[in-house]
Structure 1
Amino acid sequence: MKHEIKELESIASQVRRDIVRMVHSCQSGHPGGSLGCADFLVALYFEVMNRKEGFDMNGYGEDLFFLSNGHISPVFYSVLAHAGYFDKSELATFRKLDSRLQGHPTTHEHLPGVRIASGSLGQGMSVAIGAALAKKLNGDKSIVYTLHGDGELQEGQIWEAAMFAPHNRVDNLICTVDYNGQQIDGPTSQVLSLGDLKAKFAAFDWVVLESEGNDMAQVVKVLEEAKSLTGQGKPIMILLKTGMGHGVDYMMGSHKWHGAAPNDAQLATALAQLEETLGDY
């Protein structure tokens, strides 16, 4: 293990502070899902993924990550900054004019760490499959990772990709669903029920794993297990049970914080609950 669990939890606490400050500063953005996915992205970038120093778009000889639910860009940007892709002071420009840190990640901004424009939901799995197949053609043994929202699974393109990957034995692919049960209009069970996701992906011939998503030790464990199952002829799906707004009590479990910014008083309350561990930007 590169880091102790406590170290990873410390990074995640700072990432959560960054998220609420970024969204508050521009009074727009998506804090709920970002907070819920902080543990996953910290575990992925600081413990699990094989990454090279620096950044190039091809990513040959290293693992790749594609954020499909691009609206949770605050957590992505914070993790990229702390992982050394760009200076964390740039987080202060989030969603502001001429910033590279747009509301949804874009490639034309040339922000290190971003390989696709995302935010139009449903496309990330297809992109990741293409990258995974390219790695196979290049003799590159690295792994491709994705993250999706559970509400995103209501997009038809996801299921086309989910059918394609097992048929073509894309076994260097690990997809994860942020399974928090909330989307912008309300609970997924009310908007459009997802049914039994484990059974659905298993029926499509994926290897399906389940884990708590806000317990760092469990997140690292399931990602390492997923890695151990690559190369065996099947793609892997992790259903990660996270909490919307995790770490900030008044945001937790509420779809109302999917895309709303805290006011000054709410920011102060949130920051009082999140330890500053690496220094605020």
Structure 2
Amino acid sequence: MLATRARRNVLRMLRAGGSGHLGGAFSCLDIVTTLYAHVLTHDPERPDEPTRDRFLLSAGHKALAQYAVLALFGYFPEDVLDTYGSFGTTLPGHPDMAKLPGIEANTGALGHGTAIAAGMAMAARTQHEKWRTYVLLGDGELAEGSNWEAFALAAHHRLGNLAAIIDVNGFQISGPAEEIMGMEPIADKMRAFGWAVTEIDGHDYAQILRALESGRGDESVPTAIIARTTKGQGLDGLAGTLGSHYWTPSREELVDAFNELDSRITRLSRERDA
């Protein structure tokens, strides 16, 4: 239910701003909510705590997902979501660490997050710290060569305190990812670069959690989680469509989307309390 509430927060921001990158935000939200709820060491009251785990959203256009989850966990008041798209908002289109607690790096120019995450993991290793670094990428983003340089570096330096989660939703802004710049088999490529690889259903909480926890076992090998997801997951009319990538809903479409998620939240609440 937490991910559905987060998806509702995304709709709230779209209502305020009029449009946004819904598809990728929805495809990765089951992963992001699981990270914050069960995996990351973090404290909304002390977002700069030195011992915290680091999470970087390399696919910065999916910022709505991180904002939605940060609000749920109390990093900022939820009414701030209603400022999205407004002048002076602390919720820009891509994450900005100077504007919002809980953001570890400015991202959005694709291909940068993995290198930053590898640097953080190296810093932790050098300083004999126990915190871990997680970075979430998109499949279209893998066309950026800088990712592969960072993958090679992380394996060479045996950064077992680093995990890369690749959200494979099948689309990028201009079409199917495999038609534009095919990167499959992603898992085999990551293994060839020296990473420990797990492939999962990115909407199955048990698989997500098991993959994230198993990555803590070997401190000498970085972990890659290939998460097979559906773009726009969570809304029947948008799931699996390129049109969900950047959505500008009509008033009626937005009302229908809220109704769909609210009905799901009500049903899940009843099942939980039964």
TM-score band, normalised by the shorter chain?
A: over 0.9
* Cα distance, 1:190–1:26 mapped onto 2, change above 3 Å: same
Between Structure 1 and Structure 2, how many residues are aligned? 265
Q: Deviations over 1:151-189 (max 9, x none)?
A: 000001001101111011111001100011111001001
Query: TM-score scaled to structure 1, two decimals?
Result: 0.90
- What is the distance in 2 between the residues matched to 1:56 and 1:73? 18
Q: C-alpha offsets along residues 25-53 of structure 1, whole Å, 9 cap, x if unaligned?
A: 21221000111111111100011111135
User: How far apart in 2 are the matches of 1:180 and 1:253?
Assistant: 8
**Greater shift in the superposed pair: 113-122 or 211-220:** 211-220
The Cα shift of 1:87 comes to: 1.0
In structure 1, the residue matched to 2:33 is: 42
**Structure 2 Cα separation of the partners of residues 224 and 170 of structure 1:** 16
1:97 to 87, 93, 118: 87
Partner of 1:12: 3
1:76 aligned residue (66, 79, 83): 66
Cα distance between partner residues in 2 of 1:207 and 1:159: 15
Show CA shifts across 1:234-260 (max 9, x none): 111000011100010111111121112
Alignment of 1:1-281 (within 5 A): 10-57=1-48, 59-109=49-99, 111-229=100-218, 231=219, 233-275=220-262, 277=265
Contact 1:36 1:242 in 2 (8 A): yes
1:81 Cα deviation from its structure 2 partner: 1.0
**SS of residue paired to 2:25:** helix
For 1:275, the aligned partner's letter is D
- SS of 2:134's partner is strand
The answer to whether the 8 Å contact 1:133/1:170 transfers is yes
Cα contact 2:12–2:81 (8 A) shared by 1: no
* 3-state SS in 2 of match to 1:37: helix
Q: Which amino acid aligns with 1:74?
A: L
- Aligned with 2:200: secondary structure? strand
TM-score, normalised via structure 2 length:
0.93
The CA RMSD measured in Å over matched residues stands at 1.5
